[in-house]
Amino acid sequence: MKGYKSDKIRNIVLLGHGSTGKTTFLEAGLLNTKVISRLGKVESGNTVSDYEKMEIEKGYTINQTLVPVEYKGTKLNFIDTPGFFDFAGEARAALSTGATAIIMVDASSGIQVGTEKAWDLVKEFNSPTFFIINKIDKDNIDVDEVISSIQDKFGSACVTLDDKDALDEAVAAADEELMEKFFEGEAFTDEEFAHGLAMGIHNGDIMPVLKMSALTGEGVDEVLDALCKYVPKPETVVTEAKDADGNDIEIACDPAGDLVLYIFKTLADPFLGKISYAKVVSGTLKSGADVYNPRSEKAEKLGSVFFVRGKSQEMTDTVVAGDMVALGKLQNTKTGDTLCPKAKQVTVKPAAFPTPCYFVAVEAADKNEDEKMAQGLSRLMEEDPTFVLERNAETHQTLLGGQGDIQLGIIQAKLKDRYGVSVNVVPQKIAYRETIKGNSDVQGKHKKQSGG
């Protein structure tokens, strides 16, 4: 995988309801660019994105995965995210990089709960947004009806790229000079149209609606072309942060600036050690660089620097601002941290993760492995900040808290698979208390005796 300049990089997060075809779309992109020789399928467990053992066994995405697609001289950094709501923290972390969002919609199902949840996320993060209607090859599909439902639900900014009248008006609204030209009845040049469309997408005034079939390949090249042309370039993304004094600042995506890295994902591999996914917010990363972590107040040396595509790794020496990369064995750094020069400390605004809302009491199947269980769960918490491990001081039980039973089940399975610790879910004990709720009158009689 070659290095790219910042203006040839596009960062994109794939969102949507489960089974809408996000992972299959990546397979189609890799197939069209000849990275793979045949289309992998989720149900067969042979996709580039869903490579972890649990994902292969369960047949759905669990972790966000970085899968670059190199297309016509542009590097599209796709982050595949889970569709299950239990793993919503993965999408939040991915969007915190400032990437553009794609909301995938199943043509046969239309707008689903996961579609609306994805919409809520992109509005919260103010992310430039595309819609892709997938599975248009299915029988009895009315694509126009799906497009209309998207426009009715999410607004008139959702337009198809072949709707020239709506696009011209939206493009004109993005720039004053283009607006004047529009009212004078003059046609836009290709350069003016592309510029105005990109600005409108960046500002959220235009949300292109694309269509394809990832399974058959119909429309996939057209989608990739549109993403290369119209996804905002990294240089247009300004990152919110705080300086060493806690003042709000903005960091520009400048390859010549101070090196700033934002860690948006951590993998705790029992064999390879800790791997951190990072976005180069500013500056140019070079292997061997010394950086500082303001949160842990510890220095880190960037030894292993590599590009990833699913589980495959390719070492690199240099990474420019706007690109995404993996870093090996950072000892004092976790998801949401910033790495920067010690002399010019900054802290990028991290993702806010959901609070655990579902708890179960667990205990090691082997009573002698309580400590091993705690250590394994602690390592897994590095990967997934949305679950917690607590010890109830009153009931003396260990509580595992997260977003739902699917997530906690996966955590228990990972604990057994990676660290050899089996756990049992046991009934939670209740620490009963009595509360004084009102006043009451009582009488007593006291007899005093004296004498021998």
How far CA 220 is from CA of 24, 140, 362, in Å, comes to: 11, 21, 46
Q: Are 143 and 107 in contact (CB under 8 A)?
A: yes
Average pLDDT, the chain: 95
Strand 290-293 to 298-301 pairing: antiparallel
**The residue to which tokens 């209740």 are assigned:** 430
Q: What is the pLDDT of residue 449?
A: 66
Give the span between the Cα atoms of 204 and 101, in whole angstroms.
11
Q: What is the DSSP letter of 145?
A: H
Spatial contact of 384 and 89, defined as CB atoms under 8 Å apart = yes
Asked whether residue 324 is domain-assigned, the answer is yes
> Would residue 369 count as lying in a domain?
yes
Closest CA relative to residue 78, chosen from 55, 53, 97: 97
Question: 387 is in which domain, residue-wise?
Answer: 358-426
| 450 domain residue, yes or no | no
Query: Smallest Cα–Cα separation from 105: which of 51, 166, 25?
Result: 25
Can you give the pLDDT at residue 443?
75
Domain assignment of residue 433, yes or no: no
> What pLDDT was estimated at residue 433?
80
Q: Residues 288-347: pLDDT tens digits?
A: 999 999 999 999 999 899 999 999 999 999 999 999 999 999 999 999 999 999 999 999
Residues 213 and 146: their CA atoms lie apart, in Å, by 14
The radius of gyration of the chain's CA atoms, rounded to the nearest angstrom, is 26
Same-domain status, 209 and 253: no
Please check whether residues 259 and 214 belong to one and the same domain. no
Same domain assignment for residues 226 and 298:
no
Calculate the CA 420 to chain-centre distance. 29
**Are 78 and 168 in the same domain?**
yes
Res. 450 pLDDT band, cuts 50 70 90 = low
364 versus 451: which is more confidently predicted? 364
pLDDT digits (tens, 9 = 90+) for 110-124: 999 999 999 999 999
Q: What pLDDT is attached to residue 221? A: 98
Q: Which are the contacts of 111, defined by CB distance < 8 A and separation ≥ 6?
A: 105, 149, 150, 153
- How do beta strands 100-106 and 129-134 pair? parallel
Count up the domains in the chain and report the number.
3
Residue 438 falls inside a structural domain? no
Judge if 18 and 140 occupy the same domain: yes
Q: Are residues 338 and 375 in the same domain?
A: no
When pLDDT is cut at 50, 70 and 90, the band that residue 269 belongs to is: confident
For residue 318, what are the β-bridge partners? 286
Q: What pLDDT is stored for residue 211 in this prediction?
A: 98
Q: 112-116, 135-139, 441-445: which range is least confident on average?
A: 441-445
In this predicted structure, the answer to whether residue 452 has a pLDDT above a threshold of 60 is: no
* Domain end residue (candidates: 313, 348, 383): 348
d(CA 359, CA 405): 9
What CATH number has the domain bearing residue 372? 3.30.70.870
Question: Please, which residues have CB within 8 angstroms of residue 205's CB and are 6 or more apart in sequence?
Answer: 157, 170, 173, 174
Q: Considering only CA atoms, which of 374, 375, 354 is closest in space to residue 363?
A: 374
SS3 14: strand
Claim to verify: residue 197 and residue 262 sit in the same structural domain: no
Average pLDDT over residues 376-397: 94
For the beta carbon of residue 98, count every other beta carbon within 10 angstroms: 24
In a domain, 431, yes or no: no
CATH of the domain at 247: 2.40.30.10
- The pLDDT, as a whole number, for residue 451 is 60
pLDDT tens per residue across span 339-381? 999 999 999 999 999 999 999 999 999 999 999 999 999 999 9
Is residue 15 predicted with pLDDT exceeding 70? yes
**E-assigned strands of 316-417?**
318-320, 324-328, 338-339, 346-348, 358-364, 388-391, 398-402
- Are the C-beta atoms of 100 and 12 separated by less than 8 Å? yes
Domain shared by 206 and 247, yes or no: no
Domain boundary among 322, 348, 374: 348
CATH number of the domain where residue 102 is located: 3.40.50.300
Task: Name the DSSP class of 42.
Answer: G
**Rounded CA separation 265/97 (Å):** 10
Q: 256, 255, 263: which is closest to 233 by C-alpha?
A: 255
Given a cut of 90, is residue 436 above it in pLDDT? no
Torsional sign, CA 189, 195, 198, 204:
negative
Indicate whether 174 pLDDT > 70. Answer: yes
Q: Where does a domain end: 193, 211, 236?
A: 236
Residue 135: inside a domain: yes
**Is residue 451 a part of any domain in this protein?**
no
| pLDDT (average), residues 164-170 | 87
Percent of the chain with pLDDT over 90: 86
| Residues 394 and 268 occupy one common structural domain | no
Q: Which pLDDT score is estimated for 273? A: 84
- Report the relative pairing of strands 74-80 and 9-16 from DSSP bridges: parallel
Answer yes or no: is pLDDT of 404 > 70: yes
Q: What are phi and psi of 266, to 5 degrees?
A: -125, 135
- Rounded Cα distance, 326 and 400, in Å: 29
Residue with tokens 């620097």: 305
The pLDDT value given to residue 442? 75
What would the pLDDT profile of 197-236 be if each residue is shown by its tens digit?
Answer: 999 999 999 999 999 999 999 999 999 999 999 999 999 9
317 and 412 assigned to the same domain: no
User: Residue 352 in contact with residue 265, Cβ under 8 Å?
Assistant: no
CA neighbor of 381 nearest in space, from 425, 419, 346, 348: 419
102 and 224 co-located in one domain: yes
244 and 119 part of one domain:
no
Q: What was the pLDDT predicted at 372?
A: 95
